[in-house]
Amino acid sequence: MPGIAFGGFDDSFSSSSIKAYIAEFISTLLFVFAGVGSAIAFDKLTAGADLNPAGLVAVALCHALALFVAVSIAANISGGHVNPAVTFGLAVGGQITIITGVFYWIAQLLGAAVPTHACAAGVGAIQGVVFEIIITFGLVYTVYATACDPKKGAVGTIAPIAIGFIVGANILAAGPFSGGSMNPARSFGPAVASFDFSQHWIYWVGPLIGGGLAGLIYPNVFITSKLTADAALADAALDLPGLVAVAICHAFALFVAVSIAANISRGHVNPAVTFRLAVGGQITILS
């Protein structure tokens, strides 16, 4: 029976350990953003009413989708703990050392603190851009972790599901605020139909920055050389069941879209995804 191992600082500061801490930070950040965001979104949609059964289902669904993604994108790097209690249990069982577990805790707590402050802020144009940066970063990071990473292994088989789930979770969390676009093409169509481009820049600036950041961070940290009328959605009196339905529809539609194009074009379906692949050197700029 394995026992508790204290470990040493040399191992806890190795390259693989540092990557694991970063992975835990990012995964926890994305999970907490979706989870806390969904609760705040419910509060916004219901004008501060008490949590009802429909709201509880929506918040629980968002947490489930987000946790599925958070664990999936970190599984091959840190094990996908995303929870100090999980880390503690694994340390007690001798799966990781105590010192490494402490650094996991630090990464997880920092990851939880960042999105909590972002979600609590008011939403204007700048905050809308920040929301779009965060959720698109989460989407593109998920694409990298589950579809592009050469070390993805069995995680690659659930890539379309994880990508669809992160979209669903992000819409549940950000829909009432920025519209939850993550996709300039998705926002361009409604803008053309409504002849309203007044806030359309948000859905280009936010997603391209978020996608570009993921394209810079994931390949350089985790892949080594050895191997948007969304404003109308935010302002409309959309009730909670409607938001859940829209989020699920987006998740299923993206799952299908990525699946049917994966073997031909790799299923980008989003200029932000294409942009980060170009930034990360996965495709050429002209392509």
Residues 93-103 pLDDT 10s: 999 999 999 99
- Position 239 scores a pLDDT of 63
Most confident residue range from 46-60, 78-92, 104-118, 124-138:
78-92
Name the more confident of 178 and 23: 23
- Position 52 scores a pLDDT of 85
Alpha-carbon distance 94 to 97, whole Å? 7
Max Cα distance, the chain (Å): 67
3-class DSSP state of 135: helix
- Position 27 scores a pLDDT of 96
Alpha-carbon distance 234 to 164, whole Å? 21
Query: Mean pLDDT over all residues of the chain?
Result: 85
Q: Are 110 and 87 in contact (CB under 8 A)?
A: no
Whether pLDDT at 162 is above 50: yes
Alpha-carbon distance 252 to 245, whole Å? 11
- Domains plus CATH for the chain? 9-223 (1.20.1080.10), 241-286 (no CATH)
Q: Mean pLDDT across the stretch 139-154?
A: 90
- The residue length of the chain stands at 287
Q: How far is CA 96 from the centre of its chain?
A: 26
- Position 175 scores a pLDDT of 85
- Of the chain, the end-to-end C-alpha distance in Å amounts to 54
